[in-house]
A and B are shown apart, each in its own frame.
Chain A
Amino acid sequence: MLSDDELLRYSRHLLLEDVGKTGQEALKKANVLIIGMGGLGSPASLYLAAAGIGHLVLSDFDNIEVSNLQRQITYQSDDIGESKVEVTKRKLQQINPDIKVRSINKAMPEEQLTMELTMADLVLDCTDNMAARQMINKACVNAKVPLIVGAAIRLEGQLMFFDHSHADSSCYHCLFPDSEEQTLNCSNSGIIGPVVGTIGTLQALEAIKYFVGLPSGIKNKLKLFDGKSLDWQTFAINKDPKCTVCGQH
């Protein structure tokens, strides 16, 4: 049930046939784990808190640095040196005191991640390195928890949705089987804020759609965003039967 305050707060959701009271109540019941509180996790967590996702768990081990402020829009100059998850938690509660926010101020080892997944309905991968991405993918496949993956570099973005509650879902490892850190990241390649912000924002949109029961157009697909042309490319990701993470091995 929604309180009078909530009916007012979420009135613009309630006006939508696609959300309505049922959708808002589903958002209130939802548990979302967001891993990484950088350029993706900033807009994703702000939008999900504002939308009334009832339980948010935030994970990151970094403290805020001045070079983060060009794109990680949750933070301001006087937050420098503080923990990202603690500052984010405080700001999300200021935006929406009705939701529960829990912070994990460390790099989660696999066992802890697996434990967290028993409580999560959905995971957003907002991390900044390949090793973490592979570990999160594997844990979500094993725990059958849906995973929305975002990534961005320079003026390019990537967005994927793997619904691991379905056994026939493909996975991140079917697409990118390498765990070696030969890939591009923000500290070695640079990034423009609104590019990573666009991807993080769309991770939040896909999460909201998932809980209110709207179909996703990107399951088992990779969306590539070109920040120069604003063009999107879409690729189908078929399950690789030989995948060492999700295949029949």
Chain B
Amino acid sequence: MKIHVNEQIVELADNSNIEQLLTYLDKPLMGSAIAVNQEIISRSHWADTILNEGDNISLFQAIAGG
């Protein structure tokens, strides 16, 4: 299936979850936040949130600066 990650098209196996996406993208779990279709998915739900064709994923880092 095709999904969008930060506006780039990513080809991913059907029924992948968020943890599998991050592993596939080789992104650190630590300090990351992820939103599926503009809704933040809490870390505790990364393993049980299955992605669907056409999902818009936003992946970003916590910022501590100020």
A residues whose Cβ falls under 8 Å from a Cβ of B: 36, 38-41, 125-130, 133, 150-153, 156-158, 174-178, 180-186, 189, 191, 196, 199-200, 222, 224, 233-238, 240, 242-243
A-chain residues with CB within 8 Å of residue B39 when the two chains form the complex: 235-236, 238
Please name the residue on chain B nearest to A186 by beta carbon: B65
B-chain residues with CB within 8 Å of residue A174 when the two chains form the complex: 40, 42
Q: Are A183 and B63 in contact (CB under 8 A)?
A: yes
Give the distance to chain A from B60, nearest Cβ to Cβ, in Å. Answer: 7
B-chain residues with CB within 8 Å of residue A133 when the two chains form the complex: 64
Q: Mark contacts of B32-66 with chain A using CB atoms, 8 A cut-off: 1 yes-contact digit, 0 otherwise.
A: 01010011101111000000000000101111111
With contact pairs A182-B30, A235-B39 given, residues A41 and B61 touching in the complex (Cβ less than 8 Å): no
Given A186-B65, A186-B66, A191-B65, 11 additional A-B pairs, CB 8 A: A126-B66, A133-B64, A151-B62, A153-B65, A174-B42, A178-B31, A182-B30, A183-B62, A184-B62, A184-B64, A240-B43
Top 5 A-B pairs, shortest CB-CB distance: A240-B42, A186-B65, A153-B65, A40-B66, A242-B44
Q: Are B44 and A235 in contact (CB under 8 A)?
A: no
B residues whose Cβ falls under 8 Å from a Cβ of A: 28, 30-31, 33, 35, 38-40, 42-45, 58, 60-66
B-chain residues with CB within 8 Å of residue A40 when the two chains form the complex: 66
Q: Tell me if A's interface is mostly helix, strand, loop or mixed.
A: mixed
Kindly state the separation between the CA atoms of A133 and B62 in the bound complex, as whole angstroms. Answer: 11
Most buried by A among B31, B60, B61, B63: B63
Q: Are B66 and A224 in contact (CB under 8 A)?
A: no
Kindly state the separation between the CA atoms of A174 and B42 in the bound complex, as whole angstroms. Answer: 6
Kindly state the separation between the CA atoms of A41 and B66 in the bound complex, as whole angstroms. Answer: 8
Give the distance to chain A from B29, nearest Cβ to Cβ, in Å. Answer: 9
A-chain residues with CB within 8 Å of residue B30 when the two chains form the complex: 178, 180, 182
With contact pairs A175-B33, A224-B60 given, residues A184 and B40 touching in the complex (Cβ less than 8 Å): no
With contact pairs A180-B30, A183-B31 given, residues A130 and B62 touching in the complex (Cβ less than 8 Å): yes
With contact pairs A235-B39, A236-B40, A238-B42 given, residues A176 and B33 touching in the complex (Cβ less than 8 Å): yes
Q: Are A175 and B66 in contact (CB under 8 A)?
A: no
Q: Are B66 and A39 in contact (CB under 8 A)?
A: yes
Q: Are A128 and B33 in contact (CB under 8 A)?
A: no
Kindly state the separation between the CA atoms of A185 and B61 in the bound complex, as whole angstroms. Answer: 11
Kindly state the separation between the CA atoms of A188 and B44 in the bound complex, as whole angstroms. Answer: 29
Q: Are A236 and B61 in contact (CB under 8 A)?
A: no
Give the distance to chain A from B59, nearest Cβ to Cβ, in Å. Answer: 11
